[in-house]
């Protein structure tokens, strides 16, 4: 069972149990102000109600503090005092001595165990029932200046904000970057795509013209403006060797005659002739490539290219040493 008591010095309220109360014989020490007091004088139930009548058969008398009781046991008692006490209380001297001995033993035992947890009480945060009363009411102070004085006062001039010029060494404040609009991304992407296509057309103009002959006039105008050159188309699939023959002359020299045809709808560059001389078993004895400048010799004709849908007869003299070719093979290349 738990009780509650109140410190008479600082009015702090504490909770303590029956075992603590019995171990300390009612004397406790306040943990707030440090004063020692008899807890039985202000003992109440745990909920703050007074003790029931059955729990207190008689008035509870405060026992003297442990120090006083210890002093009383140590001081010698004279026979006169003992006799007076016995006569007053109506008790025999032997009983008085036994009671004093029992009290002294209890005090000695309590003083020997001063580290009991029940000696010093800790505030268990029991709320006090003291009502502080209603809080004071604060009224708002009248506005200053009064309304009449404020109405009579002239209106304050409008505030003018002036921005000072930045100092020479001052760092300007970083402004929040603005996100570009979607149309800006579209324009930038279109410009980049145009630039990539223009570079591709410039560096691969010969290949594009050979595959797209109808685009040659546009490329020629662009090259005239940019100062670049444009070669003739080179498509071996549209070239054909109509006929060829290798003849031996009286002086021992050889002469290659052939007819070259262009089946394209546009002029093409003159090809490179690759001649291979073979023996009677068709094994190669010698191979030689002839550029257009070797079998034509006309720079203007070479620059003009092979006319579309035409056949060109060509003749190429050859000088052979220490070879007796029995056959040949002729191929075209660029």
The DSSP-derived string for 11-61 is --EEEEEHHHHHHTTTEEEETTT--EEEGGGG-EETTSPPPPGGG-SSPPP
Instruction: Supply the mean pLDDT for the chain.
Output: 74
Least confident span in 21-35, 165-179, 182-196: 165-179
Other C-beta atoms lying within 10 Å of the C-beta of residue 266: 19
CA distance 207 to 279: 39
Cα angle value 56/57/59 (rounded, 5°): 75
Provide the whole-model pTM. Answer: 0.40
Residues of each domain in the chain carrying CATH 2.60.40: 236-333
Mean pLDDT of 220-240: 89
Cα(267)–Cα(286) distance, integer angstroms: 32
Residues belonging to the chain: 334
Please list the helix, strand and coil fractions of the chain in percent, rounded to the nearest 5, in that order. Answer: 35, 20, 45
Q: What pLDDT shows up at residue 301?
A: 92
Distances (CA, A) of 169 to 103, 123, 166, 172, 175: 92, 65, 8, 9, 18
Q: What pairs with residue 44 in β-bridges?
A: 4
Average pLDDT over residues 160-171: 59
- Say yes or no: domain 236-333 is CATH 2.60.40: yes
Tell me what pLDDT residue 115 has. Answer: 44
According to DSSP, residue 320 is labeled -
Rounded mean pLDDT of 300-312?
92
Which residues share a beta bridge with 318?
Answer: 254
């Amino acid at each position: 069972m738990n009780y509650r008591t109140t410190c008479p010095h600082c009015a702090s309220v504490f909770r303590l149990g029956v075992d603590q109360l019995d171990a300390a014989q009612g004397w406790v020490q306040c943990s707030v102000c440090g004063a020692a007091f008899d807890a039985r004088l202000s003992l109440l139930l745990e909920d703050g109600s007074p003790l029931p009548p059955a729990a207190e058969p008689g008035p509870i008398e405060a026992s003297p503090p442990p120090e006083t009781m210890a002093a009383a046991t140590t001081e010698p008692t004279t026979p006169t005092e003992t006799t007076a006490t016995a006569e007053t209380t109506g008790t025999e001297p032997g009983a008085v001595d036994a009671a004093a001995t029992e009290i002294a033993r209890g005090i000695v035992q309590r003083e020997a165990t001063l580290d009991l947890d029940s000696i010093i009480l800790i505030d268990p945060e029991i709320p006090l029932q003291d009502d502080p009363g209603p809080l004071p009411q604060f009224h708002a102070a009248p506005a200053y200046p009064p309304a009449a004085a404020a109405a009579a006062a002239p209106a304050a001039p409008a505030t003018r904000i002036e921005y000072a010029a930045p100092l020479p060494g001052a760092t300007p404040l970083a402004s929040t970057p603005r996100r570009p609009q979607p149309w800006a991304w579209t324009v930038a992407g279109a410009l980049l795509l145009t630039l990539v296509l223009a570079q591709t057309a410039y560096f691969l103009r010969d290949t594009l013209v050979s595959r797209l002959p109808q685009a040659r006039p546009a490329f020629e105008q662009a090259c005239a403006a940019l100062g670049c050159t444009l070669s003739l188309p080179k498509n071996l699939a549209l070239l054909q060797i109509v006929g060829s023959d290798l003849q031996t002359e009286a002086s021992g020299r050889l002469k290659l005659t052939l007819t070259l045809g262009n089946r394209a709808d546009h002029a093409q560059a003159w090809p490179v002739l690759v001649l291979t001389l073979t023996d009677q078993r068709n094994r190669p004895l010698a191979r030689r490539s002839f550029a257009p400048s070797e079998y034509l010799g006309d720079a203007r004709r070479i620059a003009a290219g092979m006319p579309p849908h035409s056949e060109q007869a060509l003749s190429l003299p050859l000088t052979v040493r220490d070879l007796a070719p029995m056959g040949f093979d002729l191929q075209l290349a660029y």
